[in-house]
Chains A and B, each alone.
Chain A
Amino acid sequence: MATISVQGQDPVVEMNGLDKLWSLKSRLTIPLARVRGATLDPGILGKPKGIRAPGTHLPGVITAGTFHQDGEKVLWAVRDAQKAVVVELADEHYTRLVVEVDDPRAVVAMVEQATSR
């Protein structure tokens, strides 16, 4: 599970509990200008994710860590597909983040509000 909040004006992604360990990340601050959008996407978990390095992948249980696919680098931290939010980034270390959050609709609305301001 991750928590996404807006601090100042920039979105901050924090990994909670053991997800810090699995994904090898604890906290990411992303400049608002580099956030292109957020989308609730439960279907993304079942799709090919590319090559994982480093991180943890127990299919059906947890997908966490950095995955490389088609030249893109994606940070995953998802157990429950129904709560998966995709955050698309521009000119960042990661092309996108796919993270599980507690209230995906609220998180998507918050990111959209912050980015369209």
Chain B
Amino acid sequence: MDEAVEAAADLFARRAYDGVSIDDLVTRLGVHRNSLYGVFGSKRGLYLAALRRHVEQDVRPHLARAAQPEHMPAWDFLLVAAVDRAPDDPEVAGLVSAVLAEVDEATGDPRATEVLLGRWLRGRPDALRHGEAESEVPTIREAPETVPGKEI
């Protein structure tokens, strides 16, 4: 099931929550619809599991690099969640806030966190153009890194 959660995180990082249907998830994850409901309870249950996994695997291990001035974080799911779901879902809001507080600690300055988030936001249009050139579905993950060496 961990692979399924990883695939879900990948999908949720690239589309708004409401734009991901159970059909999309069943197809992408390669799991039976009934298993999806049986294991996660709901789409939201799967979303939360995927977001927690993203935070544990893609965000927390790389907090130290957040302080580097040119670093572009590969935290798309976290940041999309902050925009898309945090206003509607208290659990998502709590998790996003907690992680941003950890980023503040890592950078030593909340303003450095804001610069980092601003840099990520300004990179979005480029990420979209790049993604369209590479595949049918625009993928944020294929955003060019400003720092050599992929962080995955």
Distance in Å: Cβ of A54 to nearest Cβ of chain B? 21
Decide yes or no whether B135 CB sits under 8 A from chain A. no
Report the nearest A residue to B32, measured CB to CB: A70
**CB-based contact A116/B33 at 8 Å:** no
**In the bound complex, CA of A94 to CA of B88 (Å):** 29
Residues of B within 8 A of A72 (CB): 34, 38
**Total of A-B residue pairs, C-beta within 8 Å:** 46
Give how many B residues have a beta carbon under 8 Å from the other chain's beta carbons: 18
Stretch of B40-48, B66-74, B102-110, B144-152 that contacts chain A:
B40-48
**CB-based contact B21/A42 at 8 Å:** yes
**In the bound complex, CA of A96 to CA of B37 (Å):** 9
Distance in Å: Cβ of A51 to nearest Cβ of chain B? 14
**In the bound complex, CA of A112 to CA of B37 (Å):** 15
**CB-based contact A88/B33 at 8 Å:** no
**CB-based contact A47/B33 at 8 Å:** yes
Distance in Å: Cβ of B24 to nearest Cβ of chain A? 9
Decide yes or no whether A37 CB sits under 8 A from chain B. yes
Decide yes or no whether A69 CB sits under 8 A from chain B. yes
Decide yes or no whether A1 CB sits under 8 A from chain B. no
**A→B interface (CB under 8 Å):** 36-44, 47, 69-70, 72, 86, 88, 95-96, 109, 112, 116
